[in-house]
Structure 1
């Protein structure tokens, strides 16, 4: 008699934490073509990723160029408000991971597009694909922005070239780097070997954080008068002109015309949701509780790194911090050897990461436009060239990385963190009624995401219009 309840409890626990045998999670994307299979062999080779390795991999997925914009967000919100926003977005991101994992167990799928299709048909698949594509295009653009603004400084440091030389012009350099380095790597069918650059990228960002902390105690306040002759150095916030005495005094609550970018920038920095489900599928002895613990540890580690980078970057430059922190240092200390080493490391990491980010966009576009076609080199090359050319044009004509962080964070990142996880949960988790506490919380989360996206997009668009009118002299 005592054995029967124990067995029932065990099966109930297994059904909650693991997928049903009738709906196995592994291999639930029949649309994947040969290109996708070769790119993600580890997802098809078995579930053997340890918890510690999964924490490292998820940390890599969370960490990215978004860390470079957080000091700018703090400068335009104040320390206290920034910390509040950072905590809120981190907690909401973890809650959306919880919703995704529970939905994946119920629906038996580990691909965002597949969940969207199961829940809402073709519109759901398109929404998921669009969000992931836009998020990755935003990441690619942010990496190219780093190349655009940092590579000229590196070349000048080594060659002593004058500002007028063509080979230190950022727009030319991103085109050259795209053709010479990024395009050949992007044309490979199997980019799995480039996946190791995520580890390099994380190490570079850790190194960057250490330098940010060191420089806070080396750079005096008030700051020296910067050399503003370089034509590539026009990324700074002109709205915040004030006295040097005010510059050295940190603020705890700030509101100005740039504050609206804070939430999108922070949201952009925490997006990793397209990788959650594949990592869940790969986890050894998988359970939903174990994957949630992986997410908790990874988000906590990245939260600490983000907070330290934002705080020490802000305390160093205060109101003079730019939308891209690494570039802010070059405005005042262009020839610093330690900063030059950091710049080289970050440039190498982002250049090698662009093809990795481009790969899932190309695969998603191929599935949408040619869902039942076999691999074709002509189609492969055309899609790659189109994506890379379009991203280059975007980076050349968009004035600041702040606009990339803001727009993508307010649209695609909001979709991936707030809207899609809650909508999929509400639609696919059938065992809970719509009046249950879980469904009501998910509905409130969905409404919050829609409000955040609408308000941020509206204010950002309004800011663009106002700035455009100012530039035209109206």
Structure 2
């Protein structure tokens, strides 16, 4: 199939005899960009996903979600080749017309919009604890009040950065975000070794499976979604062939899976059943290393928020205006988006449920359903035969995860212990020796 698409669609843009070294360099660069687009703030909720599903089943589901992500990304490019399109939006519009374009636009708006809400919740969770490490700032200080911190970060950082009209001015934060993510991963692994043995495992901590596994799939889908960047990275290849794209995708998703699994296991094995949607909620306030991790994650969140705001604003402008926004319209829409996100995050502060909701409501259809549906519409043959079988199965799985996940979120909302110092921190509050830095 790959070779057939290559020949029929003419996707080899540069002659094969081009120097191998240049092609390899381009593929390495593309792989790095792709890994960076996958590994982001969603990683913070993966230990919570293992808590929902159980450690063994959770790891298995993480591998399955990574496999489906890998497969659907390749499927997107196949669909683009079959339809002669070069973006997710144009592929869906070419395949399902304007109604399909509206549905995709709604999902592409909803995903970053809910993500921005989760970023504000995380900012309130993490930076309040960072500020409390400043001498003279206690639990009753205004800097320890999450509502004030969320408003402060919005007014001072996220809103001004979100007002940029050119996304290139925000591009430099990508490398910084990757460095901060690796720093957080190292901190979580260190604490798994130094702090984890002091916390007794909860009941059924090592059970193979738990009944909240479907909600865990939503959190994992949120962490792995990267489809909006696929066509852009594919087009950046020096030889944008399906074979080269397949190799880039396998390397990128595989690397992201290893990093994500390491973070999830380190976080969950430290706290087992106590694991929160924001893993830094589990660390004690006087843990200096964890405080540094909170600072790194808070900074990463603040610099990532404007990128998501850019996406939501572009979706709105494309659907509503179908033209470039005037300066006044740009400011008004940006202010409206940021204000609504901030208001919701001030009213609701449980990160785990927000991650679950975004995963099942927007990430699941963007990963499981839409790429498969586009390919099936464009591909000849019956749905349950040949290479159409897997996309058909993915659609059914996606629908099951969405319906079941939304039902469980509504019927069995997860508890959230935001701002509560965990019982195992009582000794640590009086002695830094319990938490060596």
Matched residue, 1:160: 136
- Does residue 289 (structure 1) correspond to residue 240 (structure 2)? The answer is no
Matched residue, 1:53: 29
Are 1:113 and 1:126, in contact at CA under 8 Å, matched by a contact in 2?
Answer: no
Matched residue, 1:302: 256
Distance 2:169 2:128 in 1: 29
**Relative to 1, partners in 2 of residues 1:281 and 1:412: Cα closer, same or farther, differing over 3 Å?**
same
**Relative to 1, partners in 2 of residues 1:11 and 1:303: Cα closer, same or farther, differing over 3 Å?**
closer
**Relative to 1, partners in 2 of residues 1:210 and 1:220: Cα closer, same or farther, differing over 3 Å?**
closer
Deviations 1:57-96 (A, max 9, x none): 1111111122111111212322211111111111111111
Deviations 1:19-45 (A, max 9, x none): 499xxxxxxxxxxxxxxxxxxxxxxxx
| Mapping 1:70-89, distance limit 5 Å | 70-89=46-65
**Which residues of structure 2 form unaligned runs of 5+?**
14-22, 417-437
Matched residue, 2:422: none
Deviations 1:298-347 (A, max 9, x none): 11111111111111111111111111112211xx2x22232222222222
- Does residue 452 (structure 1) correspond to residue 401 (structure 2)? The answer is yes
Report the alpha carbon displacement of residue 439 of structure 1 after superposing the two structures with TM. 2.1
Are 1:49 and 1:282, in contact at CA under 8 Å, matched by a contact in 2?
Answer: no
Matched residue, 1:98: 74
- Does residue 394 (structure 1) correspond to residue 344 (structure 2)? The answer is yes
Matched residue, 1:379: 329
Are 1:216 and 1:316, in contact at CA under 8 Å, matched by a contact in 2?
Answer: yes
Matched residue, 1:186: 162
Matched residue, 1:151: 127
Of the candidates 379, 400, 411, which is equivalent to residue 361 of structure 2? 411
Report the alpha carbon displacement of residue 423 of structure 1 after superposing the two structures with TM. 0.9
**Relative to 1, partners in 2 of residues 1:455 and 1:160: Cα closer, same or farther, differing over 3 Å?**
same
Matched residue, 1:335: 286
Q: Which moved more, 1:95-104 or 1:71-80?
A: 71-80
**Relative to 1, partners in 2 of residues 1:405 and 1:199: Cα closer, same or farther, differing over 3 Å?**
same
Deviations 1:173-227 (A, max 9, x none): 111211111111111111213122122112111111111111112115443xxxx
Are 2:74 and 2:245, in contact at CA under 8 Å, matched by a contact in 1?
Answer: no
Q: Which moved more, 1:447-456 or 1:153-162?
A: 153-162
**Relative to 1, partners in 2 of residues 1:215 and 1:48: Cα closer, same or farther, differing over 3 Å?**
closer
Distance 1:280 1:452 in 2: 29
- Does residue 247 (structure 1) correspond to residue 202 (structure 2)? The answer is yes
Distance 2:102 2:91 in 1: 11
Report the alpha carbon displacement of residue 397 of structure 1 after superposing the two structures with TM. 1.9
Matched residue, 1:366: 317
Deviations 1:220-277 (A, max 9, x none): 5443xxxxxxxxxxxxxxxxxxxx4x53984032425x54421111111111111111
Deviations 1:407-465 (A, max 9, x none): 11001111111110011111233x55556412233222212211111111111111249
Distance 2:348 2:293 in 1: 25
Matched residue, 1:263: 217
RMSD (Å) for aligned C-alpha atoms: 2.6
Distance 2:404 2:5 in 1: 41
**Relative to 1, partners in 2 of residues 1:263 and 1:220: Cα closer, same or farther, differing over 3 Å?**
closer
Of the candidates 6, 12, 30, which is equivalent to residue 14 of structure 1? 6
Matched residue, 1:238: none
Matched residue, 1:440: 389
Distance 1:262 1:64 in 2: 17
Q: Which moved more, 1:397-406 or 1:337-346?
A: 337-346
Q: Which moved more, 1:214-223 or 1:85-94?
A: 214-223
SS at match of 2:170: helix
- Does residue 353 (structure 1) correspond to residue 304 (structure 2)? The answer is yes
Matched residue, 2:87: 111
Distance 1:339 1:209 in 2: 11
Report the alpha carbon displacement of residue 384 of structure 1 after superposing the two structures with TM. 0.4
**Relative to 1, partners in 2 of residues 1:15 and 1:210: Cα closer, same or farther, differing over 3 Å?**
same
SS at match of 2:134: helix
Are 1:17 and 1:289, in contact at CA under 8 Å, matched by a contact in 2?
Answer: no
Matched residue, 2:423: none
Are 1:49 and 1:284, in contact at CA under 8 Å, matched by a contact in 2?
Answer: no
Matched residue, 2:430: none
Distance 1:325 1:120 in 2: 41
Matched residue, 2:101: 125
Matched residue, 1:142: 118
Distance 1:11 1:350 in 2: 42
TM-score, scaled to structure 2: 0.87
Distance 1:363 1:438 in 2: 35
Report the alpha carbon displacement of residue 16 of structure 1 after superposing the two structures with TM. 5.0
